[in-house]
Amino acid sequence: MTDDKFTTGKFITFEGGEGVGKSTQVKKLVELLINKGINNVRTREPGGSAGAEEIRALLVKGGVDKWHPMTEALLHNASRAEHLSSTVFPALKAGKWVICDRYADSTLAYQGYGQGIAVDTLLALHNVSTGDFWPDLTIILNGNELSRAVEREEEISDQNTKEDRYERMGADFHAKLQNSFLDIAQKNPNRCAVVSAAGTIDEVAQRVWQLVAGKFDLK
Ligand code: TMP
């Protein structure tokens, strides 16, 4: 998708299961970077640009069976291509850091481990959609997950407005996700780091900061 080199900006992604506190930690890291004078952009996937947010709505709302798993993988990659070209690449080119709530590891975990698409197929799709663009650092928050998965019979009537389609996918699906991110971290030790989500918000934020400061040599 791009062969540009981003020399100053860094691309950092957060991953983890539902309710592990990712979004809070994304905000915390953004605040700490601002305090250190590092200009940055907070964003998310699916979504993160106008077009990608339209695709997000197709994915996170509505009936659990509304897409074939391959359609779902394609939609996540379509959202990603939009997000990279409209938001992430321009920011990195401007020397900003980009802190993103979920990225391609979520596709490997949810559409791969969870929905059964072969990981090699998803990696090929990632290659085509993004030019094999991966983060400088992926922080995998581990533990303390809320069991947000709800049984189908409990499906709520406002499924067309609430963004909880994946949470409604049921216990079997969520069981398959259980160790997916740890497995991904083990297979990508140079890019991924696992951070314990145990303790207070500030304790976790401190662990994240130590990791980021060490990796990028920040004072
Ligand atoms: P969020 O609630 O963290 O914003 O993410 C929305 C949902 O989308 C979450 O349940 C995980 C799911 N998801 C995928 O299934 N595949 C993906 O590639 C991404 C980025 C998210």
**11-216: CATH homologous superfamily?**
P-loop containing nucleotide triphosphate hydrolases (3.40.50.300)
Model confidence pLDDT, tens digit, residues 116-130: 999 999 999 999 999
For residue 72, what are the CA distances in angstroms to 7, 36, 116, 146? Answer: 33, 39, 12, 24
From the CB of 56, is ligand 1 less than 6 Å away? no
Instruction: Check if the beta carbon of residue 173 is closer than 8 Å to that of residue 69.
Output: no
pTM score: 0.93
Pocket test for ligand 1, best of 15, 27, 166, 167 (most atoms within 8 A of CB): 166
Positive or negative, the CA dihedral 176, 198, 24, 86 is: negative
Return the SS3 of 180: helix
What is residue 1's predicted lDDT score, i.e. its pLDDT?
A: 58
List the Cα angle 111/116/118 in 5-degree steps: 85
Instruction: Check if the beta carbon of residue 163 is closer than 8 Å to that of residue 61.
Output: yes
Nearest atom within ligand 1 for CA of residue 115: 15
- Which residue ranges make up each domain of the chain? 11-216
From the CB of 181, is ligand 1 less than 6 Å away? no
C-alpha 56 to ligand 1 mean position (Å): 9
Which residue positions in the chain have pLDDT lower than 50? 3, 150-155
Looking at ligand 1, which residue's alpha carbon is closest to its atom 13? 106
What is residue 72's predicted lDDT score, i.e. its pLDDT?
A: 98
Buried b (16+ CB within 10 A) or exposed e, 66-83: ebeeeebbebbbbbbbbb
Strand segments, DSSP code E, in 104-210 are: 137-142, 192-196
What is residue 211's predicted lDDT score, i.e. its pLDDT?
A: 98
Nearest atom within ligand 1 for CA of residue 18: 10
